[in-house]
Structure 1
Amino acid sequence: MKKLSALILAAATLAPSISFAHQAGDFLFRAGTATVRPNAGSDTLLNGHFEANNNTQLGLTFGYMITDNIGVELLAATPFEHKVTLTGVGEIAKVKHLPPTLMAQYYFGNAEDKLRPYLGAGLNFTTFFDEKFTNNPAVGSGPGGLGLNSLDLKDSWGFAAQAGLDYNLDKNWMLNASVWWMNIETDVKFKDRDGTNYKVDTRLDPFVFMFGVGYRF
């Protein structure tokens, strides 16, 4: 019995340790909740400025490890929807957007570490759709309203930065927390009841917070 125990102990000592990765050649898939928190600002309109509320959707990332420390990642999500308010007026519009973002990343530590913090920088593309004004009396077509219509937001290209943390549960599964900052600027275009065209320079510059699980293969 003592000999058997000694053999088991020796085998455990000599056996290679389980790698928690991330290693060169690994693909990383993560899924979780993604919350967009805009830091909106705009040129003045009706003595006010545009603001947008937070929204949470399903976030997905697809990553590839080029080396044990360098990776690339694509962020995707289900469409975000925001209520747009105007200072002193209230909610005046709704808009949806998708912000696919491509990142180059540096992972700190070694491949066998359970905890892998990382930083990233890259490019964000944001496309807006389903833009529409609400029935707010101040901007609607009723008496005293401005009759605003034909709302359109220009798509945006901008810089993105990221910080994240993976906690490896085993050789395949991990927990993840990450945050992005995105430079999103757009031209908000619309018309009034007389057909006059307007363009309001607007920035969103949101933080995006994601918490979820990941799978490595």
Structure 2
Amino acid sequence: MLKQATFIVLLGLSASAMAGDWQVKLGASALAPQNDDNGTLNVPVGGVVTPLKAEVSNQVNFTPSVEYFFNNSPISVELLLALPFDHDVNIGPIEDAASFKHLPPTITAKYNFKNSTRFTPYIGVGATVVIPWDEELSQTTKTATGAESLDAEVAYGVAGQIGFNFQPADAKNWGVFVDARYANVKTELTAKTANGTKVTLGDLEVNPWVYTLGYSYKF
């Protein structure tokens, strides 16, 4: 009898927890790495290891997301997705020395400041992961360094978020939103020479701001 009662209580709690709302969002995002300090790479130039400053390019792309609002609570959880971002990297005096693509899925727990207006500000904190692929070195970089290929590690970091959602007076489910995210994330770069020797270049500190404007739909 006790087991049955416990099961019924747990089932009721689960149903209550799942009785929230879902929201889908589609935005256009500008991803702006912290260009004043993307780290220093130890690059072999002419056989001599030289510390050179790295700079990662800005990019714009579409970023859909899915958000779950817990029932009767200002708390929600949002998962940010994206189409692949494609970045160029300047290394010291070498412009477009390397390039890479990456996906930045990010999850944040958010607090929504509900009020009597149609603006709902929110803040959030969570985690992000950078999944790089298609890393390439330019021919200029290959000639200067003797390297033939580049590898970037999958990286993890902490993310923060601030923004607001606005629902027009004639809107039942849809709205518009604006937000900004910051992620503290870096990836270790390794170059490989023609004879297979691996050279650790150091950490590429991306640390991007992501500014997003888009539409939201709640159901």
TM-score, normalised to structure 1, is 0.81
1:140 aligns to what SS in structure 2?
Answer: helix
Q: Judge which range, 186-195 or 94-103, deviates more.
A: 186-195
Residues 52-201 of structure 1 aligned to structure 2 (within 5 Å): 52-66=56-70, 67-110=72-115, 113-136=117-140, 139-141=141-143, 145-169=144-168, 170-193=171-194, 195-199=196-200, 200-201=202-203
Matched AA of 1:56: V
Shift of 1:214: 0.8
For 1:146 and 1:73, the matched residues in 2 are separated by 43
Q: 2:40 and 2:174 mapped to 1: Cα distance?
A: 43
- Partner deviation per Cα, 1:67-125 (whole Å, 9 max, x = no partner): 44110000000000000111212111110000100110000123x53100000000101
Instruction: Report the AA paired with residue 212 of structure 1.
Output: G
Displacement after TM superposition at 1:44 (Å): 4.0
1:36 aligned partner: 31
Unaligned ranges ≥5, structure 2: 1-18, 44-49
Cα deviation per residue 1:27-67 (whole Å; 9 max; x = unaligned)?
Answer: 11111211111112234433411111000111111001114
- Whole-angstrom distance in 2 between the partners of 1:174 and 1:29: 11
CA contact (8 A) 2:40 2:51 kept: no
State the one-letter code of the partner of 2:212: M
Higher share in helix: 2
Q: Report which of the two has the higher share of strand.
A: 2
Aligned residue pair count: 188
Deviation at 1:134, TM superposition (A): 1.4
Which sections of structure 1, spanning at least 5 residues, go unmatched?
A: 1-23
Q: Which whole-Å deviations, capped at 9, do the CAs of 1:174-205 have from their partners, x for residues lacking one?
A: 01101110111111011234543211122111
- Is 1:146–1:193's contact at 8 Å kept on the other side of the alignment? no
* Code of the aligned partner of 2:65: T
2:20 is aligned, of 25, 33, 49, to 25
Tell me, what secondary structure is at the counterpart of 1:78? coil
Question: Which has the higher mean CA deviation after the structures are superposed, 52-61 or 190-199?
Answer: 190-199
For the aligned residue pairs, the C-alpha RMSD in angstroms reads 1.6
Task: Supply the distance in 2 between the matched residues of 1:195 and 1:64 (Cα, whole angstroms).
Answer: 48
SS in 2 for 1:77: coil
8 Å CA contact retained: 1:118, 1:165: yes
Q: Is the 8 A contact 1:77 1:98 kept in 2?
A: yes
Distance in 2 of aligned mates of 1:127 and 1:32: 20
Q: Sequence identity, in percent?
A: 31
